[in-house]
Amino acid sequence: MADAFRHLNGSTRRRFLHRCGLGLAALGLGARTLPGQTGGPPLVTVRFSAFSVRPPSDVALALRPGAAPQKIVFHPNARSVRLEYRGPVPLRFVDPAGGAVVAEVSVPPEIKDPLLLFMPADPKAKSALRYQVAVLDDSAARHGPGGLVIVNLSGLALAGTVNTEEVTLRPGLNPPLAIGTTGKVVLRTTFKERSYQSYAGTVALKRGERALLLLFPPFNPGGLEVQPRLLVDQPARLP
């Protein structure tokens, strides 16, 4: 599958991802000292999962200081398993084949259970890193069972209905919607004063499940039909 983000320029990507709680993880991680730490760089504990619209095979992370890098297994339509990282910041993801750093990410201290969205780095940014990473608050407190969260990364202005509720999506992360077990989603966009359907689908949930609908740019430049990814899981239990 072609990379859906290739059609967005760097400034547009950053604008969408920084708004509404979905930020590029690049600066300003507030680290907390672990018990027993007496010196050296600050260490943090982060429990996270990861996703990419085009699953990479060259991403690994040492989950603890001194440990060998563990390859992150991405899935095309689901989050990775949750992993717990304990170490210095930022988190540095490496190519397991040669050890080159391919991505760096800082998680804001208020986000306890993040979902890391991996996207190819903007070629215009002239970065040595292969991927840019966005951090999404994926906690059960924010997104619980029976809820639908839509992340609009399409570059289009979208509005429509979820079941009978009218919605107007903002770029990036949108507020959770309570759908119970079923949500019929119809979204449209306006082009040259005409309305076009950009997405239509039904979200079906079992008891205890929640849904995350990621909307990526159209496959063809200039198109109006977004590329969707629907991730369904059971949220981590609240402490």
Q: Which residues contact 108 (CB under 8 A, 6 or more apart)?
A: 23, 28, 29, 30, 135
In whole angstroms, give the CA distance from residue 153 to residue 227: 10
pLDDT of res. 41:
63
pLDDT of res. 199:
98
Say yes or no to pLDDT of 31 above 50. no
- 92-104 per-position pLDDT tens digit: 999 999 899 999 9
* Contact of 103 with 37, CB cutoff 8 Å: no
Q: Percent of the chain scored above 90 by pLDDT?
A: 71
User: Which of 15-19, 63-67, 234-238 shows the lowest mean pLDDT across its residues?
Assistant: 15-19
Higher pLDDT pick, 17 / 161:
161
3 pLDDT band, cuts 50/70/90, is very low
Question: What 3-state DSSP class applies to 224?
Answer: coil
Scan for tokens 């604008």, then name that residue: 15
128 pLDDT band, cuts 50/70/90, is confident
pTM of the prediction? Answer: 0.78
Query: Taking residues 111-133, what's their average pLDDT?
Result: 88
* CA atoms within 13 Å, Cβ hemisphere of 131: 30
pLDDT of res. 132:
92
Query: Taking residues 38-49, what's their average pLDDT?
Result: 79
Please state, rounded to an integer, the average pLDDT across all residues of the chain.
Answer: 85
CB-based burial, 126-147: b 16+ in 10 Å, e otherwise: eeebbbbbbbbbbbbebbebbb
- 144-179 per-position pLDDT tens digit: 999 999 999 999 999 999 999 999 999 999 999 999
pLDDT of res. 24:
47
- 180-204 per-position pLDDT tens digit: 999 999 999 999 999 999 999 999 9
Domain boundaries, the chain: 4-137, 147-233
pLDDT of res. 238:
55
Cβ neighbour number for residue 192 with a 10 Å cutoff: 5
- Three-point CA angle 119, 123, 129, nearest 5°: 60
